Structure 1
Amino acid sequence: MKKLLTALLVVAMVLGLATVAFAADFSDTKDLGKDAQASISKLSGLEIINGYPDGTFKPGNSITRAEFAKIATIAGGMGASADVLQNSPSQYTDVAASQWYTGYINLASSQGWVKGYPDGTFRPNSQITYAEVITVLVRLLGYNDNLPGPWPVDYIAKAGALDFTKNVSFNANAPATRGDVAVMADATLDCAVVNWDNDKEDFVYKQNKDYTLLDDSFDSAINEDYQVTGVTYDKGAWYINVSDVTDKYEKADELPGKIELAKNCVLSNAALPIDLGSKIVDILYNDDDEVATYIEVTSTTVKVDGEDWKVTKEYTKDGKDYVSQYEIDGDKYDVADWAEIEVEVFDKDGYYTAYINSDDEVYKVSAANKLTPAIVEEYDDGELTVKDEGNYGDYKEIEKIDFEDDDVLIKKAGKFVDPEELEENDIIYVEEKYGFDYYIEVAGSLNKTGNLDAVKSNSIRIDRTWYDLADLCLISDDAGDTFADYAAGNLDDSDDETITYFLNKANQVCYIITSEVGDSNKIYGVVTDLGYRITKSGNMVTDITVLTAEGTEVDYDVDTSEVEFYMPKDGLDEEFLEELYFVKFAVNDDNEIDSLTILSNDDPDDDTINGGNDDNNRVKVNDVWYKVTDKTVVFNGAGKVDDAEVVKNADFIDWADGKGKGASAYVQISGTEIEYVYLNETKAISGADADYALILSNYTKGGDYWVEIDVRGDSLDYELKGNARPTVDAIYDYSISSSKFSGDPVFDPDDNRLTALADKKDVVESIVDSVYCYKVQDVDRSANAVKVNNEWLYADDNVVIYDYTDYYADGDDPEYASSIRSISKGDYIVYAGAKDEVELFIIVTNIEFAAK
């Protein structure tokens, strides 16, 4: 443990904890812009302006004239000289000798950077204004009152010309804030230093246009565009290995390949030294001490699945193929001219990181590790035990780590910590790294939850997002006490339940905890099937199938020994529980119904619908207006069990405003809001004339076949009616009954009759029944019309449009298009419906290049 604690002490010093200079530790700067945070970090590293002992920077606080005299003196490179003048008398009547600020005010006054008032005072504790700050900063560069114009216009104009006020909005007479001062002072450091030339009667460069205030005031120099190729800890200090990635800047002296970080080195845009790996950085290097005092990360990263990567341009050199441009998640990035990245085939199931420089160029690509980390059971008295070791890194050594004698570094929540901070269910990656025997990275805790929507053989969908399963995926059915290898069928009983999960570095699910069935809750729904057992006294209901608020049918057993029936409506009793009755019920710990209330029968005449208003989402019930909210659920028995459905709220409101006026219903109201509605209308309650859907995927759930579809850009899931699985990427004319999907194919992008027309310039043949393909001659967006074959096609008000352009070009998924603006002259389109009321447009541009 001695070695570990020594390392932690040094780490704390590296992070600037002793000087409160570390940018990432300022608890109140995280909401500032990236540039402002970088400026604060840089000035902290140069000790021009510091934070407060409580770990804050207080960017909104004002600054006194005395405080800014110190800032100006240090920025001007004369901080040490100010110390000599601290005990000297001042020319100002209100600046006494030996005050902390006396030397700074004396020095800044002697250089002409600051001035007092006509009454002989300096007013050290008064707030300094933006006009005064800008004046002093411009004077630091060598400018003086020879600037044209009255004060402060002369200095503010020069500051504007030098661009160091462009990122600050200010009132010249208002008190300047610490955050804005940091931004302006940082920009001033990068401006050229000048002198007044009496002969030329103008300001001239002190050396040249590239000789800045930073060069003039500090022994350090900013060295730009270095890539960190390695990070190590050795003999009480952190080191980085770097390489110069560009000759864009002329550097008087190249940095050494291995650089020591100063004990109080400030890192901007990085939390810890180990976070610098592979990044491009600017380095403030002190030649005298041969250490880096400030490092700013200027590169960024993009992480996406392999299926979202494409090589769009490449070249050949010395017999090898290299990338010159990528398309990543729809955006194109050139490859930096100094980077040589060989062409590779991206694994669609992989997860990749692109490293991007400040010019938005890719300079490195890396694939994420797909292995599974370990999960902590506990750390106690120098011993670490795990619930499962996973298969990453030194996983077999985890429980053998000797925290007393081994060099161990632990990172958790953005900082280095003692092993006592390891907790149950921490997810850890363990390996030999950075010069330590063991580096333990706590990637998080197994506590993220989500709804399990669907399961495939090698992937699951959580909260409507699909995730691949790791090769080693571990699952627990005992609240996380123990874990076993995941196997097919492990999640059959967890459909639509909340699970706890964790993603590995490749964005794959590697840990799962299934939820425990337990707490009773009230469930509302429509009875769609009943199971009976014959007894001496008659038929006894033993199981019930219910259409629930989620739009799915769920089977429940009845606890026949304990069940209680409630019939608040006259004329109903348990012996007459039938299909299409609207009920609410509770379940016990075994998921059996133990109480059931019949709310309405299949002829709901409790309430009357009087109207609807979609402008403010209201429906009139019994001549009183009530609000329809996101939590409102509308059931429609639809006259028969197979057609029972959950109705969209918007469709219900439209129906209530039209055909639904005067209809009978059961309506449950809470205050001014509608909670539940039960109807039994045989005519469909729908707001759409045409029902077209794009098939996204097929999967199984609880042994049944399910389909994921796209309807006007929304992803929806339904159980299939029957076993015929629809074709993925095809468009179907569909219907939903009893919460089950059925439909007929309207368009199949791989239809041989369609791809056979690839070489034709004007396609006029019928592709499938009532579906046609043409080349667009013109588009009239104001009329919602497209001209093909010398005729105008007019879109229906509820037209559905899908774009297959990239599907034929690159194999990308088809996309929903919200309007006819997506169609252009020269496109190829398929349409369905009458010419004066087209219901469906499909953009198939690039089909002539398809190789199907």
Structure 2
Amino acid sequence: MRIKKSMATFVAATMLFGSTGMAFASVDDSINRLNGVGLVKGYADGSFKPEQNITRAEYAAIAVRALGLEAAAQYAKGPTKFKDVPANHWASGYINVAVDQGIITGYPDGKFRPDANVTAAEAIAMMVRVLGYEPVLTGTWPTKYISKASALGLLDNVSIDNFNAPAKRGDVFVIADDALDVKPLEQKGYGDTKTYEESTKTLLELKLKVTEKKDMAVGASVVHDGVAADQISVNGSVYDLVGTVNPFDFYGLKTKVWFNKDNDVIAVKADEEEIFTDKIKSFSGNKVVFYGKGEKELASSVTLYNNFAAGTPAVLGSNVNNGDVVKVVLDDKGKIIKFIKFAYPNTDYVKEIDAANKKITFKRSGSSISLKDKDEDYIQIFKNGKKATLADIKVGDVVSYYYNGDKYLIAATDAVVSGKLTSVADAAGNNVKLVVGDKTVYTNGTAEYTTNNGDSFSVATTANLNDDLVGQNVTVKLGLNGEAAYVISDKEATSKTFDVLVRNITKETTYSGNTNSTKTYIKVTKFDGTMLVYEVDNDDYSTVGDMANGYVGLSTVITSPDTAEINPKDLVKITLNDSGKVSKVVAIDSNTIKTPTNIDKDTNVLYVNGTPYIITSDTKVIKSKKLGGGSSTAYLDETEYVTWDNAEDYVAQNLTNTKIVIDGSKVKYVFLDSTTAVASDYKWGVVVGSKFGIGGGDYAVKINIDGTEKQYTLDVASFTYSNQPIIFKLNADGTKLNFANGLVEMGGLETVEKVETVGDKVIITMTNGNQRIGIASKVKYFDKSGGKNITPITGVSSGDNVRVYEFLDKDGKYQSPTDGMIDFVVKE
């Protein structure tokens, strides 16, 4: 029977019960099996994008693989009969085979349109053809295909409202997965004697040589089952695991398991009548009431599977209690036959990640775990229900873990619910119901809360939360069961005290229009990028200097101070009084302010004399934008907020102009003391023609950027570029070009001998013997002879005269060092 994919309504987002929080979602099951047998391979980032449309080329690949013709498609790569599918197209082999097999055809104009979307009707028709049922169909398009697909069970697990609309990848995956369990129609005999008979084997068995076994018990914990991270235990025997299967989803469940010809496990599916996850509200006699699913009756025999142990009799009020979050299995009469639950012995949320030492330090307990020098075969890490690595775990994630000696099972989630805590109420099992904004969540029985952003914690009881947090904005960190594990508030921190960068200290301010020299103003930038100006309370501070250089300093010595304690460009904490004036300015602890001496961009780690400090998702970066008075380096008129991704290259080359503020082993703030543009400021394109006058002594230029011509007024002393690619920068409002530099080709004008695609690379071999290699999806192409669009590199062919450019780094930025791959090809 099919699993009914129902879930508890109280669970936030997609987080469900289990060691990894995975849901029983049909498309996920389908992806796991299709990936295991090689029908779908996913994108470069590891995703499968089930919500997106699917193209004709992509569908041809799935259909050909379903027929077991992957090897044939590789041999068939090359020329096609379609004028829009060149020999080097990634799907040329699949298209050739699919057309030869009668699965798909081209269009009357001689095109295949590989990037066009497949409609739901087309997708269904092609899968019916894969199963061999085309010859026996009667009726009209597309009804005959839809009717047959329905009769074969291909549409049981999808909901399609419009068969003429583009098919979603997820629906196609589910249909293809269900087709694997169908017995194809096979032709017997030829000519007048041919007949069609249903095969004795399923498509999976017949074409893909996969064996299915039922009633299997699955386990795969390195801690509990002793298997390696890439293995799975099935009925007590250990097998290698292929594909994206997450074995923890199947603990305690009767399953179907599929083995390939090498006896590796490639897919697992639950084979129960109905499964759901919910929280127990109450029970009486043989009736259990759930928050989401309502009342359910116990079968005569109910088994509890708990923490990966073998099943034992379930006893309400003993090993199954109110407030428990459980996975529930029903029989064909809708009665409960199994409870499945987990309780990790260790749960906390992450304070720091030390990538160099593979160490996680926790906020709540202050404890840490280190995976350095541990055998990676016996370390299992999951995040949000997916297999993950230590690099995927971030500061703030809730982490639950088991360990046994050097074997670790680690599961993380970044699920949160944020907003105003409007009410709290008692719930089953000494839990608390929280209403946060428009969402409802429940605590997990051991939940805690903080009013000072984690400096101290208290037990999250209804009374405590009502007294301390109702009416406050909170962040609720959810655990693996989708329940509230930590309720975080910064209630105690006054909004009148915050960290800033001092831009300037002055006796006047254009912000307020006040030039009264008896008043002192401090111009600051908060680390969210906000620039502010405050009056300083003269009862608390005096000034040092006379504004001759455009700034003064602050001193706590009120009468005749000799030295300023606070100056422009200092990193400080300011406090405002009830009048909104600055009543206190304290320099940030000098022991926490560092100048980095080295950087590892790949791991986002800055080093200070060999000591590593980690850039996290919470690190804030501020950069100088405009010098004081336009030229003074002693103070700043403007700053800007930039992302670390855009700043890291600048930091790598300007370590001495960088200050960081550290918090333990992580970097809290970064200040880039330079107005030099970071990599993200640079743009590139092709100059259209030459510069031209626009009146008033001004000149402008048109530049083709990704196929769009844009006009910019020139704000440079000289501009001599014409019909060539350039790197350039714009002013703040994006209307004037204030920097330009021509790109230098790699080898001058060259003639193409051949173009090849190998994996994700494109290789252009020149007649002079040079080979130019780039990542096919990233290389851009421009035809100067008549093209207007800058396009992916599909138009280059033998005999073309081209200029090749290489100027971007691995992240696509105009920054040295480059990645050594070509970026742009111009056809003369």
Q: Which has the larger radius of gyration?
A: 1
State TM-score, norm by structure 1: 0.42
Question: More relative contact order in 1 or in 2 (CA 8 Å, sep 6+)?
Answer: 2
State TM-score, norm by structure 2: 0.43
